[in-house]
Amino acid sequence: MKILLLEDNKRLNSTIERRLKLEGYEVDTFVDGEKANDAIGGGYSCFVLDINVPSLNGVEILKNIREYFPNVPIIIISSTVELEIIKDAYALGCDDYLKKPFYIDELIIKIKKLCNVEKNIVKIGENYLFDTKENTLYADGKIVELSKKEELLLELFINYADKLVTYERIQSFVWEGSLTTVDSIRTLVKRLRKKLPEGCIKTEINKGYRFLSYGCHEDLLK
């Protein structure tokens, strides 16, 4: 399992990283908020975020994570005692909060409780599987070649299964905020449709698309 750790205290950052690696986790560590924010699309199964960090605070990063990854667990670690900030964090989708100072074992317990993902494989249709860790699509056991944008689009659809995914959200995530056209988005969706079972992607006219879990497989992760 891959964890993103944001903690600007370098000593604490290093201590947490070492302990997580001893537990068998893969860890990417950051001390700067903007750099951590730039990395949130790196296929993480869990986020551990400090609030008061340089460049961009943890609450803003939490908001950005929830924009694209509504179900990935997020644990806030912070010395702040400001109730409004903590309330904001929970309102934005924080799963748990740990006040500094804390024992590393406390954090490990929370991670094991919230973040351990035993199933990385998403079923799409009868004979299609998507490995969310490796961003790889399989059909009848064979790899289906996807372009980078197709991978990102499928990842976005799976994270928002059964929910409307607007053109704006697709542009922001797949094109990383760069300008594109609706025609380019439609062309990309058309290409991806050809590589998936029929009926998975429903067009919402003038709005965007909806990835239908029931149209593909009842066990599709949400």
SS3 of residue 11 by DSSP: helix
Q: Say if CB 49 and CB 6 are below 8 A apart.
A: yes
3-state secondary structure 55-123: CCCHHHHHHHHHHHCCCCCEEEEECCCCHHHHHHHHHCCCCEEEECCCCHHHHHHHHHHHCCCCCCEEE
pLDDT at 175: 86
For the chain, the structural domain boundaries read 2-114, 121-216
List Cα–Cα distances, 13 to 4, 16, 32, 61, in angstroms. 11, 5, 12, 18
SS3 (DSSP) at 7: coil
DSSP 8-state assignment for residue 34: H
pLDDT of residue 192: 96
Per-residue confidence (pLDDT) for residue 117, from 0 to 100: 54
- Angstrom CA distances, 193 to 8, 96, 133, 200, stand at 43, 37, 21, 8
CATH number given to 121-216: 1.10.10.10
Cα 119 to its chain centre, rounded Å, is: 15
pLDDT for 42 equals 84
59, burial (CB in 10 Å: exposed 0-12, middle 13-18, buried 19+)? buried
Q: Enter the pTM of the model.
A: 0.63
Residue in 64, 49, 56, 54 with CA at minimum distance from that of residue 95: 49
Measured CA to CA in angstroms, residue 204 lies from 164, 186, 189, 194, 219 at distances of 8, 12, 12, 18, 23
CATH class of 2-114: alpha beta
Cis peptide before 54 (omega within 30 of 0): no
Question: What is the Cα–Cα distance from 104 to 95, expressed in whole angstroms?
Answer: 18
State residue 94's pLDDT score. 93
Consecutive sets of 10 residues in the chain, 222 residues long: mean pLDDT of each?
Answer: 93 95 92 94 91 91 90 89 83 90 86 72 82 84 93 88 90 84 96 93 94 62 38
SS3 assignment, position 212: coil
Q: Judge whether 2-114 and 121-216 match in fold.
A: no
